[in-house]
């Protein structure tokens, strides 16, 4: 491995702006206040929204004892001795209960989901009886309660079905529908304004001159924000011009809960951006001991939270995923379980120098033995956006790591539907 040469800005423990990832997260979290505002909405519209209040079951699920199989509903006392013959006196379908009387020595035919009559306590599968006309013969012992689904087995009236803070997923929609609930209380949608900064940036449809590039950050940000189900305010590309930047930041902060910019926070640019942000609000400029994504500005402008993300396309996505998402979720009141990480073998050697935590881009796959493994996407430069497009996970490498040989165990963080 090559020898590590410290970088003055980031390896210097005296640098007051140098922050660990955890410290940055903690500072962000301490400034975020959960939204109070909420609204009632029709069930389907609640998909991807965050629950404001618990969903309580208004009924028992299932509502009645019912059959888990197609077969015969019997009383277990009648089948103690066998073989035994029972007379079939009726039939219960799902949604069409049998309402007659069942006497000793009698049974009914019952279909899956059919209500088990009060006289019966056991279901014998149709494959396990011999049927002839109105009579069936049972040849062996069946435990009492076999194949009966009991009322309230899944949920009881008054049970909390889903807790406030839950982001509603498709299974939740079904679960809520199964209780007959038509409307739920969800947090109001966040409004997030975002724009790109840089004199070199052009929008799609414009012609590039030498040295100019197309703005991609506004598109990755758009995609990631959409997945979080927020209302978006795309404010376009803003040139590196003091007056324009001041105006746009001020407009954005008056219209949105959160303002996100990309570019203009690295050392080369920071000074005049700093000046404007100091005029408009309270914003700190951090150098985080991570790669990519070292420079990050965070604070408050008017009543809006402000994130100044770095300009490099991969850095934008990494800092969004590692910091902004957490803050947006906290604002929306979403319960925030730690994102899933896995330990897997990395089939490639990993190049890294100690000093900073790295988020390298990886591809998780299943090998021919059925084991999960990860490989590196190739070039790891923070400008190589294709590495994010090819990847399906980050490979997390702590600051002490000094590179790894092929087939080492590494920790990965799957993108999990956000990126």
Interface residue list for ligand AMP (CB under 6 A): 196, 198, 200-201, 213, 215-217, 262-264, 266, 268-269, 310-313
Q: Report how far residue 415's alpha carbon sits from residue 290's, in angstroms, rounded to the nearest whole number.
A: 18
Task: Please choose which of Mg ion, ligand AMP, none residue 373 contacts, taking the beta carbon within 5 to 8 angstroms, the exact cut-off set by kind.
Answer: none
Task: Please choose which of Mg ion, ligand AMP, none residue 248 contacts, taking the beta carbon within 5 to 8 angstroms, the exact cut-off set by kind.
Answer: none
Contact 38, 185 (CB under 8 A): yes
Contact 331, 304 (CB under 8 A): no
State the minimum distance, in angstroms, from the CB of residue 298 to ligand AMP: 15
By CB under 5 A, what part of segment 276-315 binds Mg ion? 311
Task: Please choose which of Mg ion, ligand AMP, none residue 217 contacts, taking the beta carbon within 5 to 8 angstroms, the exact cut-off set by kind.
Answer: ligand AMP
- H/E segment holding residue 61: none
Q: Smallest Cα–Cα separation from 328: which of 225, 232, 234?
A: 225
By CB under 5 A, what part of segment 193-232 binds Mg ion? 198
State the minimum distance, in angstroms, from the CB of residue 279 to ligand AMP: 20
| Cα dist from 366 to 185, 371, 377, 404, whole Å | 41, 5, 16, 21
Task: Please choose which of Mg ion, ligand AMP, none residue 299 contacts, taking the beta carbon within 5 to 8 angstroms, the exact cut-off set by kind.
Answer: none
State the minimum distance, in angstroms, from the CB of residue 200 to ligand AMP: 5
Judged by CB, which is closer to ligand AMP: 200, or 402?
A: 200
- Mapped onto helix, strand or coil, the DSSP state of residue 150 is coil
Q: Report how far residue 151's alpha carbon sits from residue 147's, in angstroms, rounded to the nearest whole number.
A: 13
Residue 207 is classified by DSSP as: P
263 binds Mg ion (CB under 5 A): yes
Using CB under 5 A, count the residues that bind Mg ion.
4
User: Closest-CB residue for ligand AMP?
Assistant: 311
Q: Report how far residue 23's alpha carbon sits from residue 21's, in angstroms, rounded to the nearest whole number.
A: 5
Judged by CB, which is closer to ligand AMP: 38, or 219?
A: 219
- DSSP symbols for 368-387: TTS-EEEEE-S---TT-THH
Judged by CB, which is closer to Mg ion: 114, or 263?
A: 263
Contact 261, 251 (CB under 8 A): no
Residues that bind Mg ion (CB under 5 A): 198, 263-264, 311
């Amino acid at each position: 491995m090559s020898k590590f040469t410290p970088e003055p800005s980031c390896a210097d423990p005296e640098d007051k702006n140098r922050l660990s990832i955890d410290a940055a997260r903690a500072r962000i979290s301490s400034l975020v206040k959960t939204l109070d505002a909420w609204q009632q909405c029709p069930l389907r519209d609640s998909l991807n929204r965050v629950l404001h209040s618990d969903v309580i079951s208004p009924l028992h699920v299932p509502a009645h004892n019912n059959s888990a199989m197609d077969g015969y509903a019997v009383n277990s006392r009648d089948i103690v001795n066998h073989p035994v013959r029972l007379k079939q006196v009726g039939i219960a379908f799902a949604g069409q209960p049998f309402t007659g009387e069942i006497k000793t020595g009698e049974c009914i035919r019952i279909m899956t989901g059919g209500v088990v009559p009060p006289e019966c306590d056991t279901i014998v599968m149709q494959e396990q009886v011999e049927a002839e006309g109105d009579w069936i013969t049972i040849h062996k012992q069946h435990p009492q309660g076999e194949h009966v689904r009991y009322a309230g087995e899944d949920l009881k009236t008054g049970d909390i079905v889903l807790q406030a803070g839950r982001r509603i997923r498709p299974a939740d929609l079904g679960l809520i529908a199964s209780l007959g609930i038509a409307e739920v209380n969800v947090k109001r949608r966040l409004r997030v304004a975002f724009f790109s900064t840089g004199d070199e940036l052009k929008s799609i449809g414009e012609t590039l001159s030498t040295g100019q590039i197309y703005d991609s950050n506004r598109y990755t940000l758009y995609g990631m924000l959409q997945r979080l189900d927020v209302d978006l305010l795309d404010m376009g590309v803003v040139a590196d011009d003091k007056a324009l930047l001041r105006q746009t930041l001020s407009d954005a902060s008056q219209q949105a809960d959160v303002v996100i910019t990309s570019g203009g926070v690295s050392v080369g640019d920071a000074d005049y951006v700093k000046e404007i942000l100091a005029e408009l609000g309270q914003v700190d400029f951090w150098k985080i001991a991570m790669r990519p994504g070292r420079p990050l500005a965070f604070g408050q402008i008017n009543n809006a939270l402000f994130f100044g993300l770095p300009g490099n396309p991969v850095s934008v996505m990494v800092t969004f995923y590692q910091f902004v998402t957490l803050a947006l979720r906290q604002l929306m009141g979403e319960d925030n379980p730690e994102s899933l990480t896995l330990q897997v073998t990395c089939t490639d050697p990993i190049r890294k120098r100690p000093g900073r935590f790295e988020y390298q881009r990886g591809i998780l796959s299943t090998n021919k033995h059925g084991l999960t493994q990860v490989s590196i996407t190739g070039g790891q430069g923070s400008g190589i956006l294709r590495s994010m497009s090819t990847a399906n996970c980050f490979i997390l490498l702590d600051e002490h790591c000094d590179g790894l040989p092929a087939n080492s165990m590494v920790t990965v963080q799957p993108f999990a539907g956000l990126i």
